[in-house]
């Protein structure tokens, strides 16, 4: 699990170029839509990664909403801040399990596809509750099971064939390993949240090519660390095998594949409404 949280070297830039538009942007837009009722105040983003959600917030939320974007990984923050110059955003390295902010500081806390990486989720949820104002929303997303996410499923299965004794399973184990939302809802309530709702959101991922998808997963995530731990010289081979498998399934040229995630909204108390509906 420690290795699953290592996003170093070229991984952040590759993720942002190949996987970000493919699987993160559709859900970043979804989260921004859900916060559209916030007209002013402060928003905290944890596990901000390469800043895809941050950029969506800057583009869609009113100018009176300021954003504090945090991540445990400084390399990820360095890349994110290089992609977005805005006086509305403060970038800060921080652990979501031990937030360096006062109580009741933020109107909303948001985390896109980061909760899966938290070693102590109950503690992270308690921290989100602590820094929220009464009535504030904690909004986050987790991937559904890997079989419901076509590109990820094909990549993992195809690369596994190269390493049958110890296949690289990061993508299935961590990003797609928390699809059972019942334990998460229980931990949220134990942390103090009064209302917890979950919604399945299905989207279509659009890629310019099978190779772009393969590069994104094999070289732009910690799956790369697993492949290179087997043999650094086989990274290109693994990427080619994944691309070939995607072509067999979807064909060459631009391709579309199903992606599916759970979006969870937790509310601290009920002093003011939190808009969570979606058309």
pLDDT in tens, 65-109: 999 999 998 888 998 999 888 899 999 999 999 999 999 999 999
Report, as ranges of residue numbers, the positions in the chain whose pLDDT lies below 50: 1, 4, 271-279
**Whole-angstrom Cα distance, residue 163 to residue 222?**
16
What was the pLDDT predicted at 7?
59
What was the pLDDT predicted at 10?
77
What was the pLDDT predicted at 34?
94
Residue-wise pLDDT for 231-253, tens only, equals 989 999 999 999 999 999 999 99
- pTM over cut 0.75: yes
C-alpha closest to that of 139 among 1, 35, 271: 35
96 and 111 in contact (C-beta within 8 Å)? yes
**Whole-angstrom Cα distance, residue 17 to residue 216?**
8
What was the pLDDT predicted at 2?
54
What was the pLDDT predicted at 275?
38
What was the pLDDT predicted at 278?
33
Name the class of domain 3-267. Answer: alpha beta
**Whole-angstrom Cα distance, residue 11 to residue 165?**
25
Dihedrals phi, psi of 129, to nearest 5 degrees:
-60, -45
**Whole-angstrom Cα distance, residue 183 to residue 180?**
7
Dihedrals phi, psi of 101, to nearest 5 degrees:
-130, 155
270 and 194 in contact (C-beta within 8 Å)? yes
């Amino acid at each position: 699990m420690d290795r699953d949280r290592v996003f170093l070297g070229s991984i952040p830039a590759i993720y942002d170029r190949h996987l970000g538009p493919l699987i993160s942007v559709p859900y970043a837009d979804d989260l921004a839509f859900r916060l559209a009722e916030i007209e002013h105040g402060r928003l905290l983003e944890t596990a901000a990664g390469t800043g895809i959600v941050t950029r969506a917030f800057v583009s869609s939320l009113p100018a009176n909403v300021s954003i504090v974007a945090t991540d445990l990984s400084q390399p990820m923050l360095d890349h994110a801040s290089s992609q977005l110059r805005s006086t509305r955003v403060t970038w800060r390295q921080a652990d979501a399990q031990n937030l360096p902010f006062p109580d009741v500081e933020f109107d909303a806390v948001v985390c896109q596809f980061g909760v899966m990486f938290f070693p102590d989720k109950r503690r992270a949820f308690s921290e989100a509750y602590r820094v929220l104002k009464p009535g504030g929303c904690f909004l986050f997303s987790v991937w559904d099971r890997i079989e419901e996410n076509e590109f990820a499923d094909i990549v993992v299965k195809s690369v596994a064939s190269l390493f049958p004794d110890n296949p690289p399973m990061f993508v299935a184990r961590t990003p797609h390993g928390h699809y059972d939302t019942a334990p998460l809802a229980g931990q949220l309530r134990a942390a103090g949240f009064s209302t917890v709702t979950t919604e399945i959101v299905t989207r279509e991922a659009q890629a310019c090519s099978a190779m772009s998808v393969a590069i994104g997963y094999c070289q732009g995530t910690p799956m790369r660390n697993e492949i290179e731990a087997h043999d650094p010289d086989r990274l290109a081979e693994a990427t080619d095998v994944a691309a070939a498998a995607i072509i067999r399934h979807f064909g060459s040229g631009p391709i579309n594949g199903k992606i599916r995630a759970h979006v969870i909204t937790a509310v601290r108390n009920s002093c003011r409404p939190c808009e969570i509906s979606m058309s």
